[in-house]
Structure 1
Amino acid sequence: MSYNQQAYAELQEWKHRMSRKPNLAGYLSKAAQNRINRIIPEKVHVAITATIKKMVQGVLYGAKYISKPHPPVTDLMARETEIMQRIKTYQHTAAAEGGITGAGGFLMAMADFPILLGIKLKMLFDVGSMYGFDLTDYKERVFLLHIFELAFSSRQHRRQVFEKMQHWEAKKAALPDDSSQFDWRAFQQEYRDYIDLAKLAQLIPGIGAAVGLVVNYRLIKQLGETAMNAYRMRIMEP
């Protein structure tokens, strides 16, 4: 197959995974996490939501994170080779950061959360721009947030997000002109629930550094693959 045919086949397989219904284990895991969330006081949920909202908005609207879009894609293989190299650089950066904070004890491991979030969002800006999309457009940044949700959500929520992302050119015309209607509560809760299990071992003395290194590397890889296929969907199936 040509590179474009291979990329299209990968896209179709990815779309099938994104739209797959949750299995029993997924339902049980989500149900358990929902019970835990109901125990947590509402004021804690409100505080966490406000914190993540400010963190994400700070990155999204910071001028230093918005790079100029590349020219439209004409040679997919050449462009994606460059994109994959950029993602690999972010994987190594996140792995080094996770190793350092994981080795520094509880407080340093807690600091990993906002640092890693910033690395992920900056990478998404780079990938979107390299595919030729203008991230100065607020509605393109909403798509970027949906990529983030898609990568780090339960399978139930993932299907809902994936539905929003399909045929984006038509759907984005109906979006509000600002971020006030974005569901920040669902965004932070799904992200926190997903990351909690992966990152919990980073707080354990003695193995925190190794866990931080490996988990961060894999999380960035997962986000990069999600971003590539999400933008392939925009380019190959307009």
Structure 2
Amino acid sequence: MNDYELKVYDEVSEWKRKITKRSGMMTRLSKKAQGKINNIIPEKIHRVMTESIKAMVKTTLFGSQITTNKNQAHGYTLIERDELARKKIGIYQKAALVEGAGTGAGGFLLGLADFPLLLTIKMKFLFEMASIYGFNTKEYEERLFILHVFQLAFSSDETRRKTLSEMENWADRKQILVEMDWRQFQQEYRDYIDFAKMLQLVPGIGAFVGAYANNNLLKHLGETAMNAYRLRLLKKAPEL
């Protein structure tokens, strides 16, 4: 078993290097442009959007808490947890793909409906991942960790590095992290997915773009969640 844990430790270390790497030029230019747009948007609109996302996420968290099987991986080894996690990633990728294709093909109004539907799928998926790796989502700190996993997956370079640092030191950080920065949470998420979601509203290509974008977003979230929980289970390199 130590051989597998060492393999996983190396995979997590490589993942950390990858997500803390500086983004490409196009991504940085896009983020800069989005920052300028955000500065133009009136503060009142930002507050409304922040409260809307906050309410939407909290409602989704509550529903996911009720519907997730808390004991689905009880007594599993790490390799068994990883195998189950990969199966869940595949299942939720398919769900997101179907949802994206359906709303993308439905035109502008259904395209707008994609945002809360996809958010629900993502949050439910993260509850599943927490359960698979043995963390109790009845605890507030674990629900807060789920939001950090989400933010780690969908944020800019600077926020991603800061979030990863908090997650690496979660035992200490969770004592002082009382609430999410919801303004940052919603803005980073919107900026990350804006381009793909806007293309999804274009007639004729919406279904294809919706399916492709949602599938990739869930794949990325799956990799992030899997490694974030492995990171907590393997604090140091296993001894041979």
TM beyond 0.5:
yes
**Superposition map of 1:1-238 within 5 A:** 2-22=3-23, 24-62=25-63, 63-70=65-72, 75-176=77-178, 181-237=179-235
Judging changes above 3 Å, is the alpha-carbon distance between structure 1 residues 135 and 69 closer, same or farther for their aligned structure 2 residues?
A: farther
Comparing 100-109 and 72-81, the one that deviates more: 72-81
Q: Distance in 2 between matches of 1:65 and 1:189?
A: 28
Q: Tell me the amino acid that sits aligned with residue 218 of structure 1.
A: N
Q: Tell me the amino acid that sits aligned with residue 104 of structure 2.
A: G
Deviation digits for residues 74-110 of structure 1, max 9, x if unmatched?
Answer: 5211221111101110100110010010000000011
C-alpha deviation, 1:24, in angstroms = 4.9
Gaps in structure 1 of 5+ consecutive residues? none
Q: Is the 8 A contact 2:200 2:210 kept in 1?
A: yes
Deviation digits for residues 47-89 of structure 1, max 9, x if unmatched?
Answer: 1111100000111123424542455665211221111101110
Comparing 126-135 and 67-76, the one that deviates more: 67-76
Q: Distance in 1 between matches of 2:85 and 2:68?
A: 16
C-alpha deviation, 1:28, in angstroms = 2.9
Q: Is the 8 A contact 1:73 1:131 kept in 2?
A: no
Q: Distance in 1 between matches of 2:118 and 2:88?
A: 16
Q: Distance in 1 between matches of 2:223 and 2:9?
A: 14
- 4+ runs deviating over 6 angstroms: none
SS at match of 2:134: coil
C-alpha deviation, 1:169, in angstroms = 1.7
How well do the aligned residues superpose, as a CA RMSD in angstroms? 1.9
Q: Distance in 2 between matches of 1:106 and 1:149?
A: 27
Gaps in structure 2 of 5+ consecutive residues? none
SS at match of 2:175: helix
C-alpha deviation, 1:229, in angstroms = 0.4
C-alpha deviation, 1:6, in angstroms = 2.4
C-alpha deviation, 1:22, in angstroms = 5.0
- Provide TM-score, normalisation by structure 2: 0.91
Judging changes above 3 Å, is the alpha-carbon distance between structure 1 residues 23 and 212 closer, same or farther for their aligned structure 2 residues?
A: closer
C-alpha deviation, 1:39, in angstroms = 1.2
